[in-house]
Amino acid sequence: MTSPVASASSYPVAPALVEYPHPALRRPTEPVTVFDDALREFCQRMFAVMEAEAGVGLAAPQVAVSKRLFITDHKKRKGAEESERRVWINPRLENQQGTSVYEEGCLSFPGIYAKVTRLNTFDIVYQDEYGVERRQSLDVSAGDFLGIVVQHELDHLEGRVFIDHLTPLQVEMVRKKLQDLEKTYKKATGSAGAVIRR
């Protein structure tokens, strides 16, 4: 049977968070080309998944959808009550400068935190959920925590995870927790998944 709207995009009705070493975290993503209600509903479902886990960012591969989009919900200022939800589609970076180190965690790596070196200053060019192109300049050392979040989420769209940025010594420090996640995944699925070589 054919769909009445042949070009409508298709997304899971009940997206669920996947954890390391689920292979979806390593799959390359496809650009979003259709900006329709199905896309916007999917984004709302992603916000629900992220809020249930008290996250500040969530990328589509983390719910096993290989599309170039992520969402954020960040406090505008440190300690601020109000937060700002945003959808970032087909993002790319421009005018990258400097580095900044920040301790990161990831909903797909529960209980693991590590310092990661990121860009300090850059522009991110992206589309919103209606396909409108937007540009935001971010400066991490000037207090833009969002600058860390979007770099972390952008990595997910390339099939990269924050563990990939760690030194061998840092990986050694989280080895036990990675192994625990690997065991849990194997027990649940019967397969090893996409295990990080170390």
**Which residues are catalytic, by number?**
153
CB of 155 to Co ion, least distance (A): 8
As measured in angstroms, the least distance from the Cβ of 156 to Co ion is 6
Smaller CB separation from Co ion, 35 or 47: 47
Is 106 an interacting residue with respect to Co ion (CB under 5 A)?
Answer: yes
User: If binding is defined by CB under 5 A, does position 18 make contact with Co ion?
Assistant: no
Beta carbon nearer to Co ion, 10 or 115: 115
Half-sphere exposure of 142 (CA within 13 A, CB side): 8
Residues 6+ apart with CB under 8 A from 185: 19, 20, 21, 22, 191, 192, 193
Q: Which is nearer to Co ion, 38 or 119 (CB)?
A: 119
Long-range Cβ contact pairs of 6-13 (< 8 A, separation 24 or more)? 7/34, 8/34, 8/36, 8/38, 9/34, 9/36, 9/38, 9/39, 9/42, 10/38, 11/38, 11/39, 11/41, 11/42, 11/45, 11/65, 12/42, 12/45, 12/63, 12/64, 12/65, 13/45
* Residue of minimal Cβ distance to Co ion: 106
Residue 70 structure tokens: 């992520």
Segment lying near Co ion (by CB under 5 A), choices 25-33, 101-109, 116-124, 130-138: 101-109
Question: Closer CB to Co ion, residue 113 or residue 130?
Answer: 113
**Binding region for Co ion (CB under 5 A) out of 63-71, 100-108, 127-135, 166-174:** 100-108
Q: What is the DSSP letter of 159?
A: T
Instruction: Report, in Å, the least distance between residue 76 CB and Co ion.
Output: 21
Residue with tokens 């050694």: 172
**Separation of alpha carbons 158 and 49, rounded Å:** 21
Separation between Cα atoms, residue 12 and residue 18, nearest integer Å: 13
Binding mask 58-97 for Co ion (x = CB under 5 A): ----------------------------------------
Which is closer to Co ion, CB of 54 or CB of 142?
Answer: 54
Q: Output the smallest distance, CB 1 to Co ion, in A.
A: 37
- Decide if residue 174 touches Co ion (CB under 5 A): no
Which residues form the interface with Co ion (CB under 5 A)? 106
